[in-house]
Amino acid sequence: MVSKVKKYIMENNMIDKNDSVIVGLSGGADSVCLLDILCKLKNELDFSITAVHVHHGIRGDEADRDLEFVKKICDKRNIQFLEYHYNVPEYAKKHKLTEEEAGRELRYATFLNVSKTAKIAIAHNMNDNVETFVHNMCRGTGIVGLSGIKKVNDRIIRPILCLTRKEIESYLEKNSVEYITDSTNLNDEYTRNKIRINVIPYLCDNINTRTCEHINEISKDLEEVEEYIMENCKRIYKDIFTRKHNEIYVNITSMNLENIFIKKRLIRMAIEDLAGKLKDITRRHVEDVLKLTDKQSGKYLMLPYNIIVRVKHNFLVFSINEVTMNYSAEVMEITEPGMYEFENYLFEVEIIETNNSKQIIKNLENLVENDGKMYTKCFDCDKMNFTVCLRNRSQGDFLVINNKGGKKKLKQYFIDEKVPIDKRNNVPLLADGNHIIWIVGYRISEYYKITQETKRILKITGRKKSFEK
């Protein structure tokens, strides 16, 4: 076992001579096995060890027991020991995370902050990799998620990823090494525990006894595929994407020369370049960006992390939206003619080509003027900068109130019109970014009014669903 781990460390260049290695030590079988094997290798490979234990402030007396146990292990082996205490439930609530996510975030932050140069040894094993594979597959993932846990990720190393849980338990028993069991690992309330306790044993017992081995082989193959793809994507990204301050530009024609899979990966890379993360970016978001490449200049799309992607001539531009769009309700994009249902309204959308007919424009102007209920409106389509959407009010909203371009904040408009505070969030708005085209039931922005020069007209007829017979 020790020689197997040593070979794995050497093959993957995990530890160099004179390295400092921080071991995440929980007291469980995996971390105790990792510490014990590294202690047997540290003189031969010439590195030092520091054990770090994170107390999560969750399991009361049991967590205190774990802390005392790992202290004794380190004293016995003459290993430097550091302990850190956190209130994980409080941190999770503050940052809107599950306790599982919060605990992981705090652990890794702690390990990385202990030293800016040390290697961080984490006790993931082969079974953990299988759990990650199955978990990601069930949640919906791409090649990256199925590549499993990385052997080496910058300073983070996983020396016993080559061992199964059965091998680890056998090693500890054979060498009379004590460890403790976290009671939460026996509770299948958590998703990963469900997979560990129920799914994987079922697959091994009823489908194939070598399930874990096969999944790890697939994961390894996909990791190699991912490395190949990323090498090529990085080269392409560098060639066709340009960053200017806080904006990223890509020529749509150049990007469309690439394979569809590569295009999707490039889009994700641009988003990660701006936001620094991809956790909330789904397949749907990427596909929506791809669809944007067929839109006319000025159309846009809002993504998580306050990212806006817009078409600017033959370029796709990724940027951080300067105005925070905290929508209080659903946002419905108007992408084509048809019927749209938004809250208690039905909207019929038409696009009318005027063909320079002054009579068409005149007829539509008369139609709007004679609509006493104020639920039919016509707008100059070519003046719209972004993808038009139906939504409720948001920070930064405004409208143009006269033909000189004078602006008024939506909030001030509601105050002037004496719209009750409790009703303002429920007023449907037709919006072009933060520019309000139409406050449904009230007025439109002067900017979007049709004129004799209008070539394309956006006609919208709205009706409250309660009006229907």
Q: What is the CATH number of domain 332-467?
A: 3.50.40.10
What confidence tens digit (pLDDT) does each residue in 10-39 have? Answer: 999 999 999 999 999 999 999 999 999 999
Q: Give the residue-averaged pLDDT of 234-252.
A: 93
Helix, strand or coil, per DSSP, at residue 63: helix
Query: Strand order of the sheet with strand 398-400?
Result: 332-333, 389-391, 429-432, 435-439, 398-400, 407-409
Are 143 and 218 a contacting pair, CB within 8 Å?
A: no
Q: In what order do the strands lie in the sheet with 376-380?
A: 338-342, 345-353, 456-464, 376-380
pLDDT the model gives residue 364:
63
pLDDT at 328: 41
At 467 the pLDDT is 43
Between 389 and 324, name the one with better pLDDT.
Answer: 389
Percent of the chain with pLDDT over 70: 91
Residue-wise pLDDT for 89-115, tens only, equals 999 888 888 888 888 999 999 999 999
Contacts of 251 (CB under 8 A, 6+ apart): 240, 314, 315
Lowest mean pLDDT among 1-10, 166-175, 280-289: 280-289
Q: Domain spanning 245-320: which CATH class is it, in words? A: alpha beta
When pLDDT is averaged across residues 122-138 and rounded to a whole number, the result is 92
Residues 6+ apart with CB under 8 A from 272: 278
pLDDT at 326: 46
Which residue do the tokens 């809002």 mark?
302
| Mean confidence (pLDDT) of the chain | 87
Interstrand relation of 456-464 and 345-353 (parallel, antiparallel or unpaired): antiparallel
Max avg pLDDT among 242-246, 262-266, 294-298: 262-266
The model's pLDDT over 361-399, given as tens digits with 9 standing for 90+, comes to: 666 656 555 554 457 888 888 888 777 888 888 878 899
pLDDT in tens, 390-449: 888 887 889 999 988 899 999 999 999 998 887 888 899 999 888 999 999 889 999 998
Predicted pLDDT of residue 35: 96
More confident residue, 466 or 209: 209
The reply to whether 2-222 and 332-467 are identical in fold is: no
CA distance 123 to 74: 16
For residue 164, pLDDT beyond 50: yes
Structural domain spans, the chain: 2-222, 245-320, 332-467
Asked which of 51-60, 161-170, 328-337, 344-353 is least confident by mean pLDDT, the reply is 328-337
Q: Are 6 and 39 in contact (CB under 8 A)?
A: no
In this model, does residue 273 exceed pLDDT 60? Answer: yes
Helix, strand, coil % in the chain, rounded to nearest 5: 45, 20, 35
Taking 90 as the threshold, does the pLDDT of residue 158 lie above it?
Answer: yes
Does the predicted TM-score (pTM) go above 0.95? no
Residue with the larger pLDDT of the pair 324 and 448: 448
Q: Quick one: pLDDT band at residue 43, thresholds 50, 70, 90?
A: very high
Assess whether pLDDT exceeds 70 at residue 325: no
Q: Judge whether 200 and 213 are in contact, CB under 8 Å.
A: no
Which residue shows structure tokens 């389509």?
381
Give the lowest-confidence range in 171-180, 189-198, 223-232, 320-329: 320-329
Cα–Cα distance for residue pair 86/57, rounded to 1 Å: 6
Q: Given this model, what pLDDT does residue 297 score?
A: 76
In CATH terms, the fold of domain 2-222 is Rossmann fold (3.40.50)
334 band by pLDDT with thresholds 50, 70 and 90:
confident
